[in-house]
Amino acid sequence: MPSNEGLVSLAREFRVLIVGGSYGGLASAMTLIDLCRGRLARFNFTPNAQPPQHRIPIQITLVDERDGYYHLIGSPKALASEKYASKTWNRFVDIPALKTPDIKWIQGSVHSVDCRRKVAQILDSQTRRSREEKYDFLIAASGLRRAFPTVPQSLERREFLEETRKNVEAIQNAREGVVVIGGGAVGAEMAAELKDLYPNQKITLIHSRDHLLSAEPLPDAFKERICTILREQEVTVILGQRVVDTTAVETEGGRRVWQLTLSDGTKLTAGHVMNAVSKSVATSTYLPKEALNEEGLVKIRPSLQFPDNVPNADDHFAVGDIVSWSGIKRCGAAMHKGHYAATNVHQRMMAQALSTKPEFVNLQPHPAVMAIALGKNAVAYDSEGGLQDGAKTYATMFGDDMGFSICWNYMKLGEPCQA
């Protein structure tokens, strides 16, 4: 770790409000902590890059509805494995990298933001009271609201573990098998994880279109390979059929099972049903309408700043899934945006404190890339490497824990902040 000796400390303290404590929000916070302490950002891979020459006093307020960081990528496995679930949810108070007086966190939700006055109204979940939070810079990283089982609905770790326990119990007791409805990325991964964890359980995946991941702008060969691997893993895949009715039925033994009717009239019986069909909704209702497009996504500039028509637009940034930008929404892209936004916030701080001209980093268009975990296998696609699959691809893309350690170590969340 390079020495901070010789750094010039600025007198002014800056207040930064980060809304959302997932990949984009945490990457923003970690980058700011590094830069404001006169170090290269932990995400920096630029050759011969020089650390800042000034130390900047900073107070970061991190707001999230949950009481911790949840590894969203691992949801298909977390909701089927209590052991893995325990690893994927880490309370903010327990994360070593956040144990610094420069960061305070609030479990709650931001109800409104006055960009002109630079004031946010926050509803604290613990006190049930609304509070006013002033800031110099805001980074919106609250993402999309997704339904179960794409993400757990619990807001506290202990509730999440109980939610997982009940789902695992239902899977294990499903004598008639488990049906997953919806063959998007989450549904495909979920079906594969269930078969991997419970190889003797009958797993059926139903999708209304002729290809899995039909909504994604990816080659048919990628989607067909996923389907082939699922079938090789003995997952029953039904394509081109919509589930038009799901009815609970009591068996003679008093157990509840489900009868599903498909669009062609076929009827199926399942002991447990997991619906992976959901439309994600932007969580941007607290932001001014002039900053948003028709889908509620923030219309960022390449600098990740709000559009020019928003008051104090240059001091407001957005990252992660809440932004309108090219490419498929992924955790890697969210962390990249968080790093860039925080770098530009730091440049704005330097400009205001020292009357210098900020040197921004700008986002480039993201190509459509994706990697899907299928048990101990994976399928990946990008325009340069093309289609890849196999156990080696899984190890590269997901490690041995659905990418948890890759993301945790990349953000260095297990390392205490250095003074």
**Residue spans of beta strands (DSSP E) within 22-87:** 54-55, 58-64, 68-70
| Residue 246, domain member (yes or no) | yes
pLDDT in tens, 172-200: 999 999 999 999 999 999 999 999 999 99
Q: Are residues 340 and 304 in the same domain?
A: yes
| Residue 82, domain member (yes or no) | no
Whole-number pLDDT of residue 277: 86
Give buried/exposed letters for 194-209 (b at 16+ CB in 10 A, else e). bbbbbeebbbbbbbbe
Q: Are residues 292 and 262 in the same domain?
A: no
* Domain membership of residue 211 as a residue range: 157-278
Classify residue 274 as left (phi > 0), alpha (psi -120 to 50) or beta: beta
Q: Are residues 333 and 312 in the same domain?
A: yes
Of 278, 297, 323, which residue sits at a domain end?
278
Q: Are residues 23 and 104 in the same domain?
A: yes
| Residue 377, domain member (yes or no) | no
Whole-number pLDDT of residue 419: 67
Q: Which residues of the chain have pLDDT under 50?
A: 1-3
Predicted TM-score of the model (pTM): 0.94
101-104 — which CB contacts under 8 Å span 24+ positions?
102/33, 102/36, 102/58, 102/59, 102/60, 102/417, 103/29, 103/33, 103/60, 103/61, 103/62, 104/59, 104/60, 104/61, 104/62
| Residue 329, domain member (yes or no) | yes
CA geometry: angle 287, 281, 378, nearest 5 deg: 125
Closest CA to 338 of 306, 304, 369: 304
Give the count of domains, the chain: 2
Q: Are residues 59 and 105 in the same domain?
A: yes
Q: Are residues 69 and 164 in the same domain?
A: no
Q: What is the DSSP string of 227-269?
A: HHHHHHTT-EEEES--EEEEEEEE-TTS-EEEEEEETTS-EEE
Of 233, 263, 278, which residue sits at a domain end?
278
Q: Are residues 17 and 142 in the same domain?
A: yes
Q: What are phi and psi of 137, to 5 degrees?
A: -135, 145
CATH number where 34 lies: 3.50.50.60
Q: Are residues 287 and 272 in the same domain?
A: no
Of 278, 312, 336, which residue sits at a domain end?
278
Q: How buried is 267 (Cβ within 10 angstroms: 0-12 exposed, 13-18 middle, 19+ buried)? A: exposed
| Residue 171, domain member (yes or no) | yes
Whole-number pLDDT of residue 383: 85
